[in-house]
Structure 1
Amino acid sequence: MTSFSDLHMLLSVVLIWFINFKSCLCQDDDKEDTTPLYPDYNLTFSMDYSSFPQLCVKASNRKFRFWFMSIFYSIICFLGLVGNLLVILTFLYFKRLKTMTDVYLLNLSFADLLFALTLPFWTANSVAKWVLGIFVCKAMNTIYKVSFYSSMFLLSFISVDRYFAISKAVSAHRHRSRAMFLSKVSSVIIWVVALIFSIPEMTYTNINNNTCTPYSSSSDPLRVSLQASQIVWAFFLPLLVMSFCYSSIVHTLCQARNFERNKAIKVILAVVAVFLVCQLPYNLVLFWNTIETAKGGTKDCDYENRLLYATDVTQCVAFLRCCLNPFVYAFVGVKFRHDLLKLLKDFGCMSQERFFRYTCGRRRSSGNTDTETTTTFSP
């Protein structure tokens, strides 16, 4: 018992001595070496962050899209649905498919109607996360591209038909019996070609960063090829065709002595002006955006945000075409306006007195104008 107590006391003394000895050594080391074990990196060198990519903040653009696209897409969608439905109902109710232009206008209204139906999905995709799944995503982009290409091609074919009907009236009258058949066949070909041009949207469209898009990033090489083909086939080609046809038509009308000549020329100028005002700004911005994408994108955040603003605004202006086409190509015609008013009267949307007030005393065009130029070029 005594020996165990002595041993315990001896161990305690040794432990105390060891602790005191270690503290002395630590004090001596502190006096001799004041360098810290871990150096202060903030004092020895500065980190260069210039090589690291900086995230471009687009909060202001998202706020702008939220109110701008929501308002304008809703207006365009409503006007596009109403206008194109009236055109379709008038054509089908009165069975007035008598010329090639009538067939093309009916198909144009169907294309613009399909396009207007996609606008609510475009709004949801632009201002919020995409939550409708991959199938709706692919369907929306495909329908948009099919309706977009078909409407551009149909506008070109309308100008070609007007060119033959007015500038080449003799040859057009000679082949008049085959005109309806050719118009139906060409309309089917237009829809098939538009569907072929929309295959990339069917293939590559996916949900990236909660957004329905065929592109993986702003510098995706696929974006360059798709945007370049859209500019060439859906803007420059229709612009060249319409420019040639309508300039020839204006030249022919200037040589004629018809009292409807000046009014027809004004309608042609309105048709070209609407096309240029709606499509030219957007395609210029799209062309510049394609060049920037081909260069690998931009690192200037302010410049990128300005480009996004320009794209959003000009795209909304371009989308106006789906609600302006019925007024420019259909409602300007005397016969079509008369049929539209009669349709509203038959459906109970207009009284008999108001219908006669709008139609009685109105000067009707000549037979040739009614059959060939009323739909597009007569006031």
Structure 2
Amino acid sequence: MISKFIENYGEGEVRAFYSPGRVNLIGEHIDYSGGCVFPCAIELGTYGLVRKTCHDKINLISADFPLKVTVGLNDLQYKKEDDWSNYPKGVISTMKNKGYKVGGMDILIKGNIPNGAGLSSSASLELLIGEMVNVLFNNREISTIDLVKMAKETENEFIGVNCGIMDQFAVGMGKKNKGILLNCDTLDYKYAKVDLKEYTLVIMNTKKRRALSESRYNDRRNECESALKDIRSKKTVDYLCSLSKEEFKEVRDAIKDEASRKRAQHAVYENYRVKEAFKKLEEGNLIDFGKLLVESHNSLKDLYEVTGVELDTIVFEALKIKGCIGARMTGAGFGGCAIALVKKDRVLDFEKTLKEKYFNIIGYYPEFYVTNISEGTREIEL
């Protein structure tokens, strides 16, 4: 990267930054129902080299894509043809509009997050750029939480994607070997030590691009809102996830539509599983943690109906292999990735066996990434 940077921008001082991707360990499709999520940053991410300049231009180059973009600080507009560079432009624009200092920069980006896998490459890039601007122009005085909020605002307002805050939060606030129990509504959070002992986290990419159907996603949200409305006819409640399992049993018959009842049951029980998973990891009880992962996947398959043949195949075939104690889809579903807890000394056999089984059923090969849990976005030494 340094050679490519000098080749494009010339000799001079260069600073380096790194921003991770993320997986959600457990807690899927409940952020918009007042639930908690449990993500962590991973050791796949985005690297960036940067140099301050004396002009008012942002020069953007990626080592992964041929597109090169130069834009003035007073012309930070979304342009479809600018593709990936809209994320850096958006973050800089958002920070500028908030009154933070920005300036000219030469930037080179390179990532190793698989494209379309649902591991938050966009949030990784957003926090990378935000931290560059924070360090180079604002003396590191912007809090990480504020950078996270501005990255989410960029995604929502500049890019036009109506995402929640989990991805940016996990990327920015990640800590090595720690998961984050996050309430997406209040942003209350706490860390849990993730000591996987003789196990490791294997990310399993179905290679079906995570093309979340907007209509199906909206259907799920609408069904949850319908369930909540029906429940409120019997009980005062803020969110579905405000209910305990016992309280849900008392009001479930008030939900008229069967699909809405299933979505609500997933939300309530998944929120419970997140809190249990947090406890199990703090206790070092990996076997029970693995069981909760499986329960989560089954609920997403049977009650929320967001898995599909690829995710179900990779999860259920993984669970048949010796050394795997838990697996589930992660992310929005409808493709993308799943995670598995696998004994370290069984990983090679696990990957080989699952690769063949998946190919025989689906017709193409999956990919695997073994990763540790990473620190959040930061400047790194060259």
TM interval, short-chain normalised: under 0.3
Higher strand proportion: 2
Kindly name which structure, 1 or 2, has the bigger radius of gyration based on alpha carbons. Answer: 1
Higher helix proportion: 1
TM-score, normalised relative to structure 1: 0.25
